[in-house]
Structure 1
Amino acid sequence: MAAMDTISTLLFRPPPSLLVNVMTVVSSVVVAVIGLSEAKGTAHLQYSKFWNTNNSATKSSSPEKFKISSRSGMLLLYAPAALAGAVSFWIFPNEDLRILLLKSALTLHFVKRNFEVLFIHKYSGKMALDSALIISLSYFSSTALMIFAQELSRTLPEPSIDLKFIGIALFLIGIIGNFYHHYILSQTRKKGETGYKIPKGGLFCVVICPHYLFEITVYFGFALISQTIYSLCFAIATAMYLGGRSYATRKWYVSKFEDFPHHIKALVPFVF
């Protein structure tokens, strides 16, 4: 009973939807497990140079997959989620401030990601189509379900402690920090270069994946704006997933660069 009282202080009760409640468990577990697989080098989502850090032999022996350009693949990752956010303004045209803030934050996040794909990032490889489709479905479904869960929660009692404005602050810190470090990454290569370099500037002096750290901040911003169990569980799962990717990323840099500074951590400065 005390645990339920604590939950109701910070979160909405689970909404009256079997779909949302089942997907809260399923999607969170799947994303977290993929993150653990990334860390162990056994992930099968082939969309970056890090996917097989510990499993290069598997790559050489795996069947050839249909691939598309990295730019097209990244647009496929983010465009459906941005569309889901934009369409939600038409599907749920209510005046509730919390859901308006959530829809706006989600839409802005994925519009920003598409902007970066088109105008910021530089690409030199290809992406497996099946991996792009899986990740695209994850982003799309999580965005749609976050908004749907929020809409269902409008009829439930509000949490005693209102965290939505703290969530907005966290979201803004995350999206600005994420964009800034993506920009630094895009400047690592000079025009015409295709090789990889150790990024420098910003928080790259202490962690190799500050852009992931700020993306996690974005998702916890969503969770505090929303204060639903689904958004919180998905934020935790996203942190586990990006933690696994950052661990694999650091391992890749260590394997490729003999002069990689060993004080630089994967994700959290001075800790991990």
Structure 2
Amino acid sequence: MASSLFSLMFPPPPSLLANVVSVLCVAILASAGVSEFTDGSHLQYSKFRDAAVAPGMLAGALGISGRQFSSRVGMAALYAPAFVGALAAFAFPGVVSATPRVAPVAAALAIHFLKRVLEVLYLHHFSAYVIIDSVIPITISYFTNTVSIIYVQYLTQGMPEPPIDLRFPGYILFLVGISGNFYHHVLLAKLRKTGEKGYKIPTGGLFGLVICPHYLFEIIGLFGISFIGQTLQSFAFALGSGFYLLGRSYATRKWYLSKFEDFPKEVKALIPFVF
């Protein structure tokens, strides 16, 4: 089983730090997903902005724990550093030309996070605030994982290609994921007119089957990036993000069930007809 999995990716890089980051990526994101499932500790943004969450260690150390930002500023802060980190790779021609995969991986990550920044600035309607205790760890996670994915891809220079080349399926998955995610974000944005702050049951697209199709397509897009790169770090980020969004979607469905008596019970959380 293990040998089959490793046939899909490059060998782990000769860097203890990079390998530790890969393991921590899955562990931390999976832990956050389990918290969404079990104890009601939610990262404080969107509809969970008033939920209970343990104060962030860094925010507490800086004396800013609990401070609030407007949702637009806070959400843009989640994605902008990761976008800059991915884009910065192109300032180093020796990095992006090191292998045929570095530039496509860096470009896909830059497009992914640029799309999110533009959606925050020009598409989404926000109703309140986000808590810095949630902003800081997410921002650090996105930035660290983005930079480490590109760095690990750079370290594959001179290594033999994986026996199974997943780049073409990766391009397809990335395009499907980013397009589906954007389409369902547009549907969500149309639910709330300018000045409105309440929540409604979303409809259209795959919302008739799952309450978080935008999460589903985000996972698809991230696995697309991992297929393009085929490194342990890129797979770890996609897998860890999948675990987190699985828990977040479960919590989201539970929230809708508690707020709307007419919420259709057959609508699943993330995977149509399954979960």
Same fold (TM over 0.5): yes
State the secondary structure of the residue aligned to 2:198: coil
**Of 213, 217, 236, the match for 2:239:** 236
Q: Any idea what SS the aligned residue of 1:270 has?
A: coil
- Of 148, 167, 173, the match for 2:170: 167
Question: Is 1:211 paired with 2:227?
Answer: no
Identity of aligned residues (%): 51
Could you tell me whether the CA contact under 8 Å between 2:49 and 2:129 is conserved in 1? no
Pick aligned residue for 1:145 from 127, 136, 148: 148
Deviations 1:90-136 (A, max 9, x none): 13241632111111100000000001000000001100012101100
- 2:60 is matched with none
TM-score by length of 2: 0.91
- The 2-side partners of 1:128 and 1:8 are apart by 40
Structure 2 counterpart of 1:24, which letter? S
SS of equivalent to 2:246: helix
Using a 3 Å threshold, how does the CA distance of structure 1 residues 262 and 226 change in structure 2: closer, same or farther? Answer: same
Matched, 1:117 2:120: yes
Paired residue for 2:184, among 181, 184, 204? 181
Are 1:75 and 2:76 counterparts?
yes
Following the alignment from structure 1 to structure 2, what is the Cα–Cα distance between the partners of residues 163 and 93? 19
Determine whether 1:249 maps to 2:252: yes
Aligned mates of 2:14, 2:141 — CA distance in 1: 22
Distance 1:215 1:3 in 2: 26
SS at match of 1:82: helix
**Distance of 1:95 and 1:16 partners within structure 2:** 16
SS in 1 for 2:171: helix
The code of the aligned residue for 1:68 comes to F
Q: 1:112 to 1:52 in 2, by over 3 A?
A: same
- What is the aligned partner in structure 2 of residue 88 from structure 1? 89
SS for the counterpart of 2:211 is coil
Q: Quick check: 1:38–1:51 contact (8 Å CA) kept in 2?
A: no
Local SS of the residue matching 2:191: coil
RMSD: 1.8
Q: Cα distance, 1:155 vs. partner?
A: 2.0
- Among 129, 132, 156, the alignment partner of 2:132 is 129
Structure 2 Cα separation of the partners of residues 154 and 185 of structure 1: 42
Which residue of structure 1 aligns with residue 62 of structure 2? none
Amino acid at match of 1:166: P
Contact 1:43-1:51 at 8 Å conserved across structures: no
Aligned to 1:201: 204
Q: TM-score, normalised by structure 1?
A: 0.92
Q: Count residues in correspondence.
A: 263
Distance change (3 Å), C-alpha of 1:95 and 1:15? closer
Deviations 1:172-217 (A, max 9, x none): 0000000000000000012321111001110001100000000000
Residue segments in structure 1 that go unaligned for 5+ positions in a row = 57-63
Does the residue aligned with 2:48 lie in a helix, a strand or coil? Answer: coil
Q: Deviations over 1:139-166 (max 9, x none)?
A: 0001101111100012211101110111
Deviations 1:1-39 (A, max 9, x none): x843x3442110001111111111112101110011011
How many angstroms apart in 1 are the aligned matches of 2:195 and 2:7? Answer: 55
Q: Within 5 Å, give how 1:31-110 maps onto structure 2.
A: 31-50=29-48, 65-91=66-92, 92-94=95-97, 96-110=99-113
Relative distance call for 1:16 and 1:179 in structure 2 (3 A) is: same
